Amino acid sequence: MGCSHCMSVCPTEAIRVRYGKAILYENRCVDCGECFKACPVSAIFIDQDDFARIQAYNYRIALVPAVFFGQFPEEISHNQIYTAILANGFTHIYEVELGVDLLVNEVKAYAKSHPEKKPLISSFCPAIIRLVQVKFPALTENIMLLKPPLDITALYCRKELTDKGVNPAEIGVFYISPCAAKIAAIKSPVSEDYSMITGVINMDTLYNKVYKYIRTDRTLNPKTNANKPLTKTALEWTLTHGEASHIQGRSLAIDEIHNVIEFLEKIENDEIGDIDFLELRACDESCAGGVLLSANRFLVAERLRSYSNVATEEISKTDGIFAYKDYLLRRINIQAINPRSMMKLDENMEEAMRKMEKSGRMLQCLPLTDCGACGSPNCQTFANDIALGEADIRQCIFIQKNREQTGELSPDESLEMLKSIWGNEKFFSKSK
């Protein structure tokens, strides 16, 4: 309805309002989900694969993050949730954080072997990777080039089944995603040629199916966990400080994407230095605050920390994922991550400079109130839009009124300008 809530909260200025509708500039979008959370009428939705698609495979694997289990009330057991997931069509369940115990030592070793990359930035959160690409391109070389737990566990489960004689074509690996960024990372990998994951099911979709099954089947007979319980390290990894707490030196954990942007700006401006490692997460409370979770993020984080308090750190180095340690470590590195600057005004340097100069001139004419009435989030982006030929300076409400007073613009022309931003509906009173 062109309310501009999404435009106001977008951390990368990827949204504009034109003709009463929000439009997306895809080159700026980092899939953080802030617009999804802000929309008051649920006009924005996060796409997923059809749930029925899992039936195309004889071996249907659910890759389930720990935060999925943290959504359920304490009276619902881990085993009940496992049983309900299997009852909804999956044949195997692998908890995503199985890859953490293998990864944690590699992260420590990577940090020690790359002292020149300060601060080293975690590769865990795909929204942060994309944010660095588009808004802080100079920092892309600081990103740790190691697979996150999700990709390690996906490799592991496929390898384990194929080693048991399963035809790879019969294996479908479906990730239960807590956020939009991880869906985008699977569908369009940034640092890989392809993803090992077949499809994505939104976490709220499976949560509703599982919760309904548990509540309606009071005689539910829980099955034993398919995997050993996660360790304390694995359970805490997806929460704020879960990763940074394992890195020696000055390691900081920052969650919520606007906080991350503010901090990275200080890093880029050399206001903050001497930091060894940054754990950066786009969501408040990290994955517990994912936009596709159904429960309160603080309660989810509390439950996971409660589970971790009684979890063990004892791990077998001979079975489970460690039986495939050599295979996985040979594939744990990812390709270099390249900048994807959203600020490029033109491919031709001379033309880009000309547009930059024009943007500067336009900015000097604007009121710098960042009111958003022009359909752009602030005056700076509006000036850039004008330089790119995607907006007209007369769309600024202050410019309009000034030109109306001088006779350069008629009231009707001014009204048409506003309609081109906010649509016709907002300028006609309803008949009584």
From residue 142, alpha-carbon distances to 123, 337, 339 in Å are 10, 9, 12
The pLDDT tens digits for 4-32 are: 999 999 999 999 999 999 999 988 999 99
Q: Are residues 158 and 212 in the same domain?
A: yes
* Percent of the chain topping pLDDT 70: 95
Q: Are the C-beta atoms of 294 and 208 separated by less than 8 Å?
A: yes
How far is the C-alpha of 391 from the C-alpha of 135, rounded, in Å? 22
**Would you place residue 133 in the very low, low, confident or very high pLDDT band (cuts 50, 70, 90)?**
very high
Residue 277 falls inside a structural domain: no
The pLDDT value given to residue 432:
44
Q: Are residues 352 and 423 in the same domain?
A: yes
- ∠ CA 78-242-284, nearest 5°, is 90
Pairing mode, strands 59-64 and 92-95: parallel
Q: Are the C-beta atoms of 255 and 287 separated by less than 8 Å?
A: no
Q: Are residues 396 and 294 in the same domain?
A: no
Decide which of 329, 356, 381 is a domain's last residue.
Answer: 329
Tokens of 124: 């865990």
The pLDDT tens digits for 403-417 are: 989 988 898 888 888
Q: Are residues 165 and 24 in the same domain?
A: no
Residue 338 falls inside a structural domain: no
The pLDDT value given to residue 70:
95
Tokens of 171: 């294996």
Residue 102: which CATH number? 3.40.50
Q: Are residues 86 and 170 in the same domain?
A: yes
The pLDDT tens digits for 162-215 are: 999 999 999 999 999 999 999 988 988 876 777 899 999 999 999 999 999 998
Q: How many domains does the chain have?
A: 2
Residue 94 falls inside a structural domain: yes
The pLDDT tens digits for 30-66 are: 999 999 999 999 999 888 999 999 999 999 999 999 9
- Evaluate if residue 349 carries a pLDDT over 90: no
Q: Are residues 105 and 234 in the same domain?
A: yes
Q: Are residues 197 and 55 in the same domain?
A: yes
- Evaluate if residue 429 carries a pLDDT over 80: no
Residue 270 falls inside a structural domain: no
Q: Are residues 229 and 353 in the same domain?
A: no
- Evaluate if residue 344 carries a pLDDT over 80: no
Domain that holds residue 366: 5-45+344-427
For the chain, the average pLDDT equals 91
Residue 307 falls inside a structural domain: yes
Residue 81 falls inside a structural domain: yes
**Would you place residue 223 in the very low, low, confident or very high pLDDT band (cuts 50, 70, 90)?**
low
Residue 129 falls inside a structural domain: no
